[in-house]
Structure 1
Amino acid sequence: MIALHAIQANVSIGLLPLVWQIIPASHEYFNGDRLMNYLDQSLYEYSQTDFYPFHMPGHKRQVHSPYLRNPYEVDITEITDFDNLHHAEGIIKDNQEKAASLYHADKTWFLINGSTAGILAAVSACTSRGGKLLMARNCHKAIYHAAYLRGLETVYLYPSYESFCGLNGGISPENVEKSLLEHQDIEAVVITSPSYDGIVSDIARIAEIVHRYEIPLIVDEAHGAHFAFHQAFPISALELGADVVIHSLHKTLPAMTQTALLHQKGNRVSTEKLEEFLGIYETSSPSYLLMGGISYCLRFLEEQGAEQFELFSLRMKKARKQLSAMKTLHLTDRDFKKQGNIFDMDLSKFVISTVDAPVNGPQLHEILRTKYHLEMEMEAEQYVLALTSVMDSQEGFDRLVNALLEIDENFYAKKAKTPMHKFTNTEFAAQNQQKCAIWQAVEGSSEAIPLKESCGRVSAEYAYLYPPGIPLLAPGEIISEEFLNQAEHLMQQGMYLQGMKDYEQRYIYVLA
């Protein structure tokens, strides 16, 4: 049974006086004084509503493999004839080789702990314990965790900053070379490209520089698993010189959550070490349902990829052309390449800016969700992100376009406009000063103090928005006044930091 709850949208201009939101409400029971729903039943009930997903996973609930309809029927363990992920000699080995062939990699491994497992394994295989890692500061938290686990010293590469919308730009090849000259003992370089928002760095130039120092380049291309399958997208890092590349299949392709691939190309990284660390970071009980989903995805790419990606490209371009007519909202496009070190952009990421609108990102997100039943991938202070994929239907694109055009026209008709101003970068703070290594801060003696009184102290924990999961503050960094202002500003916009032990964001752990 579905309950209808009336909610008031948090919009000051009266665009939504009252809307109805569909919320699963059956199968409830009281746990003490708290009303609770069973997750499995609530998920099913939500799936029966008309909410449309412009978010991960990339299958968009539209995949209909006849072989995976009942997950319990195919949920097995390592029985005869079904191979072993950690010692692949048969059917899993064959499927991994198919993945390597499709992506033009020398070797590919299935990941069923998400890209996180591949990132941990890649960084661990490319560095020695206590070594030094050159990494982009806008990397996912998993890379910070790898640095912690290996006791690495980290040197940061800061991307350029795009001030209009508040996005992180690309990584400068010149800054990579400068850091490698200053730190001769760096053992590996890792960057994220594309970023969560679809910003692509110049991988070819960066790879050429890194290889001159005879060290490997790791590229977290989790959000670019679709790049290899149509010319409308940037070229994959695997074709541009990267030594290890990680792809999240579930982000932009028809695959289930937690499925990803780790690719190796060339001989700069030890295959044996990659496999050794995969054996540590991946579960010893891999899900055959998830691996079966990877296999289905590979078959889809091989048999239907060309046709379906061409259709996706046409739908995507049509939607972008229609949305270019917006007057107060703005859709980012490849014209951003003129700024900073933005080498290219993934146009499947629809970043809708609210810079000239009378609402901020969270408010636009609320309008899209409550009035139009469109679920976005992410909200930031000055934009929302709609993640599209090859599985999006024409109906889905039409709903997104019509909703945004109607919202935009309402804003324009009311002549409601806010002055453009410089927004807070919601992906990381200013260049925080490092006092010690991540592992030293995490494992050192710490104490909880009021966040407002922490300026100048050394953080013993992370602080980040999720998504995108990029630390605004990392352990070992000195807490700056800029970070505290940023945290306060985000909280006023209704966005709270994660990673801190105090969920209410009043206290933070610092080195004692």
Structure 2
Amino acid sequence: MYTPVYKQLQNYINQKTTSFHIPGHKNSPFLKKELIHFDLTEIEGLDNLHSPNDIIKKSQENAARVYQTKKTFYLVNGSTVGILAAMLALTNKKDKIIMARNSHRSVYNGVILNELDPCYVYPDILKDYSVPGSIHPKDIEAILKKEKDIKLIIITSPTYEGIISDIKAIASIAKRYRIPLIVDEAHGSHLAFNKYFPSSAIEYGADIVIHSLHKTLPSLTQTALLHINDNSIDAEKIKEHLSILQTSSPSYVLLSSIDYCIGLMESKKEELFNTFVENIKTFRKDIKSQLNVFNIVGKNNTSNQGMYDMDLSRLVVNTQNSLITGNELEKKLKKDYNIQIELANKSNIIAMATIGNSKKDFDKLLKAILDIDRSLKKKEELSDIFNTIKLNKVMTPYEAKKKHTKTIKFVSSKGYVASEFIIPYPPGIPVIAPGEELTQEIIELVLEYKAIGIQLIGMWDTTLETIQVIK
């Protein structure tokens, strides 16, 4: 029987790899194994996600109580469907919006679907680490003063690296201009459950907040939440768009996973997160005091002013002072220590820690990083130029998708306007989006990403020998 996916997954499980990657449950006891038996359908007594009036309605209402929101919707197509539904519900065709340039690809897809005109706001840069920082409120207000017809603001906080923006200030600005604010808090579904973490965007007044439960909490992949946090938002319109975009056959395995996860947070959050927080504190204290070559990104060990706050459960180890790249560190961790981290690039690795990680996991990761660190010598700092490149938007992504295109050699594409995405994955943030001008700097960066083995998606030619551009 030919089953390449099944066999490879089984091979990976048999390796008993220590997980510092998504999903957040880490195959821990928090994940109920009997969920597979709940693969049922909308029969009598089991309610209907698209028209809930019984158990699903009660469960969603309980989630709203736990997160202290006006209304919460369950998502079984990931936070992506929540982002798309919210964007389509709150905008009309060709509206102008403010969006963070380091948004997830789903935001760009929402822009294309509703033919929106994005005004990009760029994050500050943590140059010590080659990491995108926070979105500055003054940059959003500057756009609002210049552009008089903005209909929506959407930003990502926390970022993949755990960097938090000043949502309280941004929400205040949005309310002053009477513009709805969506916060893609996909990486922050845990923030509300312990004071060690920065506050959720829910607390700071974002109108809609979207969570990927599966990223940082014990819930199955594709499970997510859309929270309505202000009475001005038309919940029925959101519901209508979710019904259009989500599968008409929502999985009860996923729904029960969401339900159980919320129940666990309600009943055992103090016990679970107190242990988790102590593990993070110990890890950070020990690694910071012993690193010689690498650095760990934190709130108080950077000279940069580009970080408003940080989720310290996101363990970002910077390698740019060493003789190896983040990608090489990732490979060493897997090959020599059987540890799989979430993401690596030229300058950093990101280890995603959750309540699913044990003290043993943290100790193993600490020993591995310190072992490798002690074997290396320092070298001069290098910066990752992607984080300092601001690209020229020639036309909207939708307009670019509708233009006639031609295929040319990627290495010779300088000066042309891209008609397709180039997206390092993870994290899923485009280095080039349709409608942007290709520069020599971005060409060189993408070729470097390709050379060191970073997965690139979004292009017709997956080898990136060629690229589609506007004629």
TM range (shorter): over 0.9
- Matches of 1:399 and 1:295 in 2, distance apart? 32
Runs ≥4 in structure 1, deviation > 6 angstroms? none
Give the corresponding residue for 2:218.
254
TM-score by length of 2: 0.97
Contact 1:429 1:472 in 2 (8 A): no
What is the CA-CA distance between 1:429 and the residue it aligns to?
6.5
Contact 2:124 2:133 in 1 (8 A): yes
From 158, 165, 174, the equivalent of 1:201 is: 165
What is the CA-CA distance between 1:494 and the residue it aligns to?
2.8
After TM superposition, list the pairs within 5 Å mapping 1:259-298 onto structure 2. Answer: 259-298=223-262
Deviations 1:439-479 (A, max 9, x none): 11112211111111111111100011001111111101111
Give the corresponding residue for 1:299.
263
Establish whether residue 430 from structure 1 lines up as the match of residue 396 from structure 2: no
User: Helix, strand or coil for the counterpart of 2:317?
Assistant: strand
- Matches of 2:4 and 2:413 in 1, distance apart? 40
After TM superposition, list the pairs within 5 Å mapping 1:443-482 onto structure 2. Answer: 443-482=402-441
Contact 2:417 2:434 in 1 (8 A): yes
After TM superposition, list the pairs within 5 Å mapping 1:158-177 onto structure 2. Answer: 158-177=122-141
CA separation of 1:264 and 1:63: change in aligned 2, threshold 3 A: same
User: Helix, strand or coil for the counterpart of 1:86?
Assistant: coil
Q: What residue ranges of structure 1 are gaps of 5+ in the alignment?
A: 1-26, 30-36
From 448, 454, 460, the equivalent of 1:495 is: 454
Q: Which has the larger radius of gyration?
A: 1
Give the corresponding residue for 2:57.
93
AA paired with 1:193? S
What is the CA-CA distance between 1:65 and the residue it aligns to?
5.1
Deviations 1:330-385 (A, max 9, x none): 11111257523311001001001112211111110000000000000000101111
Contact 2:35 2:256 in 1 (8 A): no
Contact 2:125 2:388 in 1 (8 A): no
Contact 2:191 2:197 in 1 (8 A): yes
What is the CA-CA distance between 1:391 and the residue it aligns to?
1.2
Deviations 1:239-293 (A, max 9, x none): 0010000000000000000000000011232112111111111111100000000
From 364, 368, 371, the equivalent of 1:406 is: 371
Give the corresponding residue for 2:202.
238
Give the corresponding residue for 1:326.
291
User: Helix, strand or coil for the counterpart of 1:335?
Assistant: coil
What is the CA-CA distance between 1:213 and the residue it aligns to?
0.7
From 14, 20, 24, the equivalent of 1:54 is: 20
Contact 1:429 1:473 in 2 (8 A): no
AA paired with 2:241? F
CA separation of 1:490 and 1:64: change in aligned 2, threshold 3 A: closer
Contact 1:337 1:345 in 2 (8 A): no
From 348, 351, 357, the equivalent of 1:392 is: 357
- Matches of 1:336 and 1:389 in 2, distance apart? 23
What is the CA-CA distance between 1:491 and the residue it aligns to?
2.6
CA separation of 1:429 and 1:160: change in aligned 2, threshold 3 A: closer
Establish whether residue 312 from structure 1 lines up as the match of residue 272 from structure 2: no
User: Helix, strand or coil for the counterpart of 2:202?
Assistant: helix
What is the CA-CA distance between 1:488 and the residue it aligns to?
2.2
User: Helix, strand or coil for the counterpart of 1:267?
Assistant: coil
User: Helix, strand or coil for the counterpart of 2:257?
Assistant: helix
- Matches of 1:452 and 1:340 in 2, distance apart? 36
AA paired with 2:251? S
Establish whether residue 42 from structure 1 lines up as the match of residue 8 from structure 2: yes
What is the CA-CA distance between 1:129 and the residue it aligns to?
1.2
AA paired with 1:292? S
With 184-193 and 451-460 compared, the bigger mean Cα shift is at 451-460
What is the CA-CA distance between 1:501 and the residue it aligns to?
1.0
AA paired with 1:475? P
AA paired with 2:15? T
Give the corresponding residue for 2:78.
114
After TM superposition, list the pairs within 5 Å mapping 1:57-76 onto structure 2. Answer: 57-64=23-30, 68-69=33-34, 71=36, 73-76=37-40
With 115-124 and 40-49 compared, the bigger mean Cα shift is at 40-49
Contact 1:127 1:187 in 2 (8 A): yes
Q: What residue ranges of structure 2 are gaps of 5+ in the alignment?
A: none
Contact 2:126 2:306 in 1 (8 A): no
- Matches of 2:147 and 2:232 in 1, distance apart? 20
What is the CA-CA distance between 1:422 and the residue it aligns to?
2.1
